[in-house]
Amino acid sequence: MRRGLVNLSALFMAHAFTASAGTLHPQVDLYVSVSTDPVPFVPGGRGTVALTLHNAGPDAAGTTFPGTYAIDVIQSGFIITSHPPPYEIRGPVEGCFIAETITEPLPNGDIGLVWEFYFDVVSPGASRTCTFGIEFYPSTRDSFTTSWIAVSPNDEDTNPGNNRVHYTFAAPPVSIPTASSRGLIGLGISLLVMSWIACRNRVRIEHQPARE
């Protein structure tokens, strides 16, 4: 995981050098899609995330420094000061390098958690998928939304407006307790008794002698 962070620093330095030298950057169009299994998730259970990076071209992405996993997909962070994140990445991981960063205290004192996913070269019209295992905390019981954004510092993305994808992890539906057969029978008897009492009282009222 540290390897991805070191590579990213080197890539930004190289990006500054090539920009000053007037080197043209490859033209790319990156976008991300996400799928999870199972849906809905199970609190305290395990799952799998498939994070796919697409490149609509016209050039290949990440070719300026091939083999360095130059393309970074950043997940929106979670504030973990008072409670854990919705899940932890437990592995195995295939198709990318993952870096986990715990932030220094923010101005308001909060601590954040950020995951980054580093991809190798993506040819025009092609895609790469990173799959990784996750484990939900038992306290994660409500649906939650997060997002991922693709960043390739040594390429020129011609359509940055589609670089981010939002995804909602769906929580299991809240189960409503069902009445037992014995309870239903008891409820039926109670309703019959109440109806009988109501009819009997009405008959009594109707047969009372009229007052002169």
Residue 59: alpha-carbon gap to chain centroid: 30
Q: pLDDT at position 91, please?
A: 83
Q: Torsion angle, CA of 149/151/156/158, rounded to 10 degrees?
A: -10
> 61 - beta bridge partners?
122
Query: Is the distance from CB of 63 to CB of 72 less than 8 angstroms?
Result: no
Phi, psi of 192, rounded to the nearest 5 degrees: -65, -45
For 44-76, what is each residue's pLDDT tens digit?
Answer: 999 999 999 999 999 999 998 877 899 999 999
Segment 189-208 shows an average pLDDT of: 54
Q: pLDDT at position 66, please?
A: 74
What's the pTM value of the predicted model, to 2 decimals? 0.73
pLDDT category of residue 85 using cuts at 50, 70 and 90: very high
Q: Torsion angle, CA of 83/86/92/93, rounded to 10 degrees?
A: -100
Query: Is the distance from CB of 165 to CB of 49 less than 8 angstroms?
Result: no
Residue 104: alpha-carbon gap to chain centroid: 23
Percentage, residues of the chain above pLDDT 70: 71
> 97 - beta bridge partners?
118
Percentage, residues of the chain above pLDDT 90: 67
Q: Whole-angstrom Cα distance, residue 81 to residue 146? A: 18
Q: pLDDT at position 118, please?
A: 97
Tokens of 49: 């995330």
Domains of the chain in sequence order: 2-169 (2.60.40.1510)
Q: Is the pLDDT of residue 25 over 70?
A: yes
Query: Is the distance from CB of 141 to CB of 171 less than 8 angstroms?
Result: yes
**Cβ contacts of 186-189, under 8 Å, gap ≥ 24:** none
Q: pLDDT at position 145, please?
A: 97
Q: Is the pLDDT of residue 202 over 60?
A: no
SS3 state of residue 185:
helix
CA atoms within 13 A on the CB side of 50: 10
For 132-166, what is each residue's pLDDT tens digit?
Answer: 999 999 999 999 999 999 999 999 999 999 999 99
Q: pLDDT at position 64, please?
A: 87
Q: Which residue has the tokens 């009988």?
A: 196
Mean pLDDT of the chain: 83
How many other C-beta atoms can be found within 10 angstroms of the C-beta atom of residue 87? 21
**Residue 58: is the preceding peptide bond cis (ω within 30°)?**
yes
